[in-house]
Amino acid sequence: MATGDIEKSVSELHELLAHKDISSTELTQTYIDRIHNLEPDLQAYLTVLEDQALAQAAVVDRKIAQGGVLSSLEGIPMAMKDNMCTEGVRTSCGSKMLENFTPPYNATVTDRLQAAGTILLGKLNMDEFAMGSSTENSYFAKTRNPWDLEYVPGGSSGGAAVAVAADEAGFSLGSDTGGSIRQPAAFCGVVGMKPTYGAVSRYGLIAYASSLDQIGPLTKNVRDNALVMNAIAGHDLLDSTSVPFEKPDYTKFLVNDIKGLKIGIPREYYGEGIDPEVAKGIQSGIQTLIDLGAEVSECSLPHTEYAIPAYYLIATAEASSNLARYDGVRYGYRAESEDVLGMFKTTRSEGFGPEVKRRIMLGTYALSSGYYDAYYLKAQKVRTLIKQDFDQAFEEFDVLLSPTAPTPAFKFGEKSANPLAMYLSDITTVPINLAGIPAISIPAGFVNGLPIGMQLMGKAFAEGMLYRVAYTFEQNTNYHTLKPSMSREVLARGSR
Amino acid sequence: MKISREDVEYVAALARLELTEQETQEYTEQLNSILDYAAMLERLDTSDVVPTAHAVPLHNILREDQVRPSINHEKALRNAPDGEEGFFRVPKIV
């Protein structure tokens, strides 16, 4: 296998496998070697499945040897955020609470990727219970941004973004409750899709906020993203919120043409707190799309500023309910105590980290007697207004466009002392989850050597339209081909 | 201040959390600052607005009541911190 092969996209690797230029075993071994080389610096993985991955690769190689035809993801090494259940493989959710939890079943996405013949390299670091925007809330490790090790990778799917950005996996799956796929994708310079709520099954995804959580792919380019969506999307009987819809072949939307498409720029996404350099970078991306024939104009989503408080009330209320199950009885951490109430309290106080407890507290308060109407119900009503903003905008526009995050990646510790400041940086991503619509983040340039992302938002189940615009942008720019310099150094070191 | 120390202690008890002195103090300050910020929602008149629980509403999801394979007893108990003879064991309740 040639040195540069590890940087190749899923579709390029598929060609190499199909033409017997490399074997899946060689490819998998190359990824494992690279993980060993980079992990001391990056810490994207919580679990690496060396033996299992090589065994899976051997199965694919036997099929190739027997003249079998490979499907598009078959033999491709990938990794999953550690909140998706993998039978027999620890699934920790980044928490002490689940440090020793080994699921007795697979999440639907795990089954589907297995059925597609992918190779599971391991499980990826994340903010505890997916609560956070920097992966600093993981109980286990501090994942670093490969573009600059002093900076956070974003979160909560920080490990999933880093693994793809640093070529430690062909692709990865993350989950997105308020931006947790898109924001780390932007911070690490990869493509990240948050699908429509209900497009991908949540069965076996450890719940944070059930009405907002959604699984999606992080990939090196837009084509790969569409290929992974083909494998994971679709109705599932095991998730009653999964929507029965006719799943398209998402690769059919990959055309280099956006002539006449109407793109709206919501002005509220450029409020205070936005880095002027990020705004400038996105503006130049918008110009590229105009040059390619898109019709771009400004628009308004008037309730945007209310999205943060509405989101944090709804998400924490749902979290306080979902996380009530961690009581030390059926699975997870248990602290010993004389009586059962003491056991519940000590287990939860020792098993959860500070951000998780903070959100349980806020959510419990918002749902408590006397405050339910003022906070939770009010937030649900505001959610309706936010959704209506989008409905109106999509009567006029095919897609909406904004920066994925108001700033590039920040330094470790920069925001962790002030929870509210951390929450406010989610302004460009949380409205999308409240409305349940799809959005994709694609690489759109650099500010001070750190990647920035452009976010495209679409109507419910219009992932195809997002892929079309994203693909066209990608075909006419080179941001997605640039690699963190650090990974080139280590690549050179590893190949000697 | 919307939330007092006592409120925080009450909510912690509801959530089955035992907070240290320092946590109680921190959460009192932080929840106040978050809820002060959330007070902006009061500016919106939502008296005629229907609440949204799910962005894509689905109703009455039914399926045939068919027997399907499920996780066996042994597997279901494998993660239990304490168990015996097919049961979960907990400290004394009464």
**How crowded is the C-beta side of A458, counted as CA atoms within 13 Å?**
22
Q: How far apart are the CA of A418 and the nearest CA of chain B, in angstroms?
A: 8
- Catalytic residue status for A180: yes
Nearest to A420 among B37, B76, B82 (CB): B37
pLDDT score, position A492: 52
Out of A23, A24, A72, A81, which one is annotated catalytic?
Answer: A81
Answer whether residue A313 is part of any domain. Answer: no
**Cα distance between residue B61 and residue A268, in whole Å:** 37
Q: What is the model's pTM?
A: 0.96
pLDDT score, position B92: 86
Nearest to A361 among B11, B37, B49 (CB): B11
**Is there a contact between A330 and B15 if contact means CB atoms under 8 Å apart?**
no
**Is there a contact between A346 and B91 if contact means CB atoms under 8 Å apart?**
no
State chain B's maximal CA–CA distance in angstroms. 58
pLDDT confidence band for B46 (50 / 70 / 90) = very high
Answer whether residue A379 is part of any domain. Answer: no
pLDDT tens for chain A, residues 1 to 496: 666 788 999 999 999 999 999 999 999 999 999 999 999 999 999 999 999 999 999 999 999 999 999 999 999 999 999 999 999 999 999 999 999 999 999 999 999 999 999 999 999 999 999 999 999 999 999 999 999 999 999 999 999 999 999 999 999 999 999 999 999 999 999 999 999 999 999 999 999 999 999 999 999 999 999 999 999 999 999 999 999 999 999 999 999 999 999 999 999 999 888 999 999 999 999 999 999 999 999 999 999 999 999 999 999 999 999 999 999 999 999 999 999 999 999 999 999 999 999 999 999 999 998 899 999 999 999 999 999 999 999 999 999 999 999 999 999 999 888 888 888 889 999 999 999 999 999 999 999 999 999 999 999 999 999 999 999 999 999 999 999 976 555 555 544 3
**Is there a contact between A198 and B56 if contact means CB atoms under 8 Å apart?**
yes
**Is there a contact between B40 and A306 if contact means CB atoms under 8 Å apart?**
yes
Q: Which amino acid is at A340?
A: V
Out of A23, A138, A156, A175, which one is annotated catalytic?
Answer: A156
Residue appearing with tokens 């640093």: A166
DSSP states of A217-277 as a string? Answer: EEESSHHHHHHHHHHHBS--TT-TTS-------GGGG--S--TT-EEEEEGGGG-TT--HH
Decide: residue B33, CB within 10 A, 0-12 exposed, 13-18 middle, 19+ buried.
Answer: middle
Q: Which two tokens stand for residue B21?
A: 């002195």
Mean pLDDT of B13-24: 97
Answer whether residue A466 is part of any domain. Answer: yes
pLDDT score, position A496: 35
**Is there a contact between A382 and B41 if contact means CB atoms under 8 Å apart?**
yes
Fold of B1-42: Histone, subunit A (1.10.20)
Question: Would you say residue B13 has pLDDT above 70?
Answer: yes
Domain range for A211 is 3-302+387-495
Number of domains in chain A: 1
- Is residue A86 within 8 Å of B57, Cβ to Cβ? no
User: In terms of Cα–Cα distance, which of A76, A67, A5 is closest to A34?
Assistant: A5
Segments in A323-462 forming alpha helices (H): 340-351, 354-367, 378-396, 419-424, 430-435
Name the DSSP letter for residue A54: H
- Catalytic residue status for A156: yes
Answer whether residue A371 is part of any domain. Answer: no
**Cα distance between residue A312 and residue A104, in whole Å:** 32
pLDDT score, position A13: 97
CATH number of the structural domain spanning residue A56? 3.90.1300.10
Region for residue A10 given its phi and psi (left: phi exceeds 0; alpha: psi -120 to 50; beta: otherwise): alpha
Answer whether residue A356 is part of any domain. Answer: no
**How crowded is the C-beta side of A359, counted as CA atoms within 13 Å?**
30
Summarised one tens digit per residue, pLDDT across range B65-91 is 999 888 898 999 999 999 888 899 999
